[in-house]
Structures are given as C-alpha cells and as structure tokens.
Structure 1
C-alpha cells in the first residue's frame, strides 16, 4: 500500500476520554481561562477540527458525563412507574445516588471536573442548564406521584432542592472528602433533605 493510499484510508480513531483527560490536566495546571482549544489540540496531537467534532467548547470537556447522569436519573424514574408520594421521595433519592455512582477508574477524573467547575463561574454557569434539566425531570415525576396534571409548587421546589443538593454534595466530596464514596455522600445529603419532606408527603 502506498503512502498516499494510507493517508486516504480510514481516519485514526481518537479516544474521546483521553482527550478530555488531557484537557482536564491542562485546565488544572494552567487555569481554565488560560488554556485555548488550540492548546488542547496540540497537547492531544489532534487537529483543531477533530477536537471541535468531539467537543464544541472547553466547558463541554469539563462537564462530560452530565448527559449520562441525566440518562441514569431518567431511567430510574421511568422504571419506578406509578408510585405514591412517600415512595416517590425514595425513588428520587435513589435516582440521584445511582447517577453519582462512578467506576473506580473514573473517580479522579470526576473529582478534577467538579473542582474545576466549582472554581470557575463560566464553567458553573455553562452547566446550570444540566442541573435544571434534572430538576424538571424530578418535578414531573413528583407531580405524577401527587396525581396532579402538572407539578405543584411543592413538587417544583423540592425537585430543585434535590438537584441542587446533589450537585453541592458532589462538589463537597471532590473538594473535602475525596476518600469517601461520592454515592454515599449524595445519599446522606438527600436523606437529610428529604426527611424534612416526609410530613408533606404524609399530608398530601
């Protein structure tokens, strides 16, 4: 096979996770705002166009995995089916715990991502929509558990509190307790939060 033919063959596969890990190291060492997409492309040995096909922005590299978390939450809520309100609160807690369960090899990368997000307003703002989407999913689920056509103010408020508490617990884990299991940290945080909602559930 000639050199020309080899160059025209199937393009080499780029490992998306490896690119993200390299970018995270750069962001951590140099500062998120000081690193450009060109810097990341050069460090990874890929072309600029290839990098943008993988990640539309620097923030997308850091927030990687948020889509998988939403899918996990959606799957857990859908699998629960029609449940009453008290049981629905447990389902919500378990859904967030499941979304915060990471394989051992992903723990350090996840911790780095969360520390970067917590330290940078641009990154935090970029991911607000992801947190909001989770809150909407939970609110709709709690609304169904209430037997209402649309989520009540209580359901919306509690869903937003759960999504925020989940994120806050993960950031706390990343910054102050990386030796602990993040899923257990989230479980503890949401258990405390939802204990206060039991009275509402009993009265609904």
Structure 2
C-alpha cells in the first residue's frame, strides 16, 4: 500500500505539478481512503521520498553491527547505501531530482533528510571517538565531509540523467575523504591512511618533517619542512605544531 500510494503521488506530481496535486487526488488515483494515506505519510512531501526512512534504518543497523577498525571507512560504507538506493531505480531518481529542483518545499525537505543522514554518521563517530581529543569536533567534520563528497558525486550523476557509473563516482569522492581522514583511531589521529591513497595522491604528499641539523642546531630547536605548493595551509600548520609539541 505504501508503494502504491507513493507511485500514485509521484505520477500525479509529474502530470499536474506538486502544488496542484492534493491528497484527495492521490488517494483517488490509488483507490484508497484519506486515512490510508496519512497512515503511511504525514505529508505530500513524505510521499516524494518514501525510501529514505528505510535507508536511514539500514544505515543505523549497519553502523551498530560492531566496532569496525576503520570508523571513517564504516561511515563511507554507510553513505554508499544512499547511492545504491538511488542507483537501483535511475529513472525514478532522475525524475525526482528534477521535481525537487522545481519545488522549493521539496528542496527544504530534502535538506532535512540530508541532515538526518549526517547526524546518524556523526553520532556513530562521536561514540567511536568519545575518548579522543576533539573527538566530537572530528566526528562532525568527517560526517559533513562524507555527506558533501557523496552528494556531490550523486548529484552530478543525477544531473547527467543517470548516465555513467554512480557507484564509481561516489567511490572516487569518498576516497578523497578517506585519504585525508582515514584511520583516525591510529597514532596519526586523522592523518591520511596510506593504503587508501593512490600513487597520484602520494606524489602530491604535502610535506615531510625532520629535526634540525645537529651541526647547525645542537639543541634541536629547528624544524626543517619540505611542503608541496598544493598542500593545504591548515595541514602544514597542524604538522608543524605536532612536531613542536613532540619536542
């Protein structure tokens, strides 16, 4: 019944427009009463996104299965559930994306769904990093980065009309996140995980650090750094501060 109502609603939205379609129109098309509609959907907006509640539940279940040794990898895997949900029905997904871009209320609704996904990922990371310095901040930053990378790739695929390999595009985007934040439970505390960084990325390694030459600096108070011009400034500063703190 839920799927029948969602299909009837979506077809009417495409035919008549979202604003001109009423709940009475939807239940008439589906052949059920108004009460049946509100049993499954609190509003018309919910009928446009009937699969997100199930996906959120699947994401939560995936993250609660155990302590993955790579928390960043775990949230990337969880984000892929959303991509697979969209890729399972490309025609519907592309049509829904077009409808969402046309209706401000649907865009607002979609943003609220995105925040719920991000909150689910951040909540998992906060639990994993509860004892780590700045664990809560790191959790929020990584969750936001995962969602931003995933959505950038997914929306590019949707704008293309569902052409190409959505999974490969999302994998590439999430690989960038893992390259920066992978294995934050390890000694690096958020430094790039080497096994997730390809040859091209390794060639762009931002910097190397070593202590001063003992002949020039007997007390070791000089830090010599070699940095790529493309290295983010925040990474350079972070590494210098870490080297200085290490004494």
TM-score of the alignment, normalized to the shorter chain, above 0.5? yes
Q: Determine whether 1:165 maps to 2:149.
A: yes
- CA RMSD after TM alignment: 2.8
Contact 1:19 1:44 in 2 (8 A): yes
1:116 to 91, 99, 113: 99
Whether the aligned pair in 1 keeps the contact of 2:154 and 2:166 (CA below 8 Å) is yes
Gaps of 5+ in 1: 1-14
- Confirm or deny: 8 A CA contact 1:135 1:163 kept in the other structure: yes
Compute the displacement of 1:59 (Å).
Answer: 0.4
Aligned: 1:77 with 2:63: yes
Greater RCO, CA 8 A, separation 6+: 1
Q: What's the CA shift for 1:33?
A: 1.9
User: Is it true that 1:53 corresponds to 2:53 in the alignment?
Assistant: no
Quote the residue 2:159 is aligned against. Answer: 175
| Residue equivalent to 1:188 | 172
Residues of 1 paired with 2:13 and 2:125: CA distance? Answer: 38
Pairwise mapping of residues 111-150 of structure 1 onto structure 2 (< 5 A)?
Answer: 111-148=94-131
- Aligned partners of 1:77 and 1:141 also within 8 Å: yes
Q: Partner of 1:21 in structure 2?
A: 7
1:50–1:98 distance in 2 versus 1, CA, 3 Å? closer
CA-to-partner distance for each residue in 1:136-191, whole Å, 9 max, x for gaps?
A: 22123223333527842122022123224333433332221413343333222222
Task: Give the aligned partner of residue 10 of structure 1.
Answer: none
Q: 1:63 offset after TM fit, Å?
A: 1.4
- Which of residues 2, 16, 28 in structure 2 aligns to 1:30? 16
Per mean C-alpha deviation after superposition, the further-off stretch among 31-40 and 100-109 is: 100-109
Q: Deviations over 1:26-47 (max 9, x none)?
A: 2123222222212222222222
- Please say which structure displays the higher CA radius of gyration: 2
**CA 1:56–1:62: 2 relative to 1, 3 Å:** same
Q: Unpaired segments of 5 or more residues in structure 2? A: 190-247
Residues 115, 191 of structure 1: CA spacing in aligned structure 2 closer, same or farther, 3 A cutoff?
farther
Alignment CA distance shift 1:28-1:191 (3 Å)? farther
Per mean C-alpha deviation after superposition, the further-off stretch among 61-70 and 153-162 is: 153-162
* SS of residue matched to 2:84: coil
What secondary structure does 2:19 align onto? Answer: helix
SS in 2 for 1:33: coil
How many residues align structurally? 187
- Normalising by structure 2, report the TM-score: 0.64
Structure with the bigger percentage of strand: 2
The structure with the greater share of residues assigned to helix is: 1
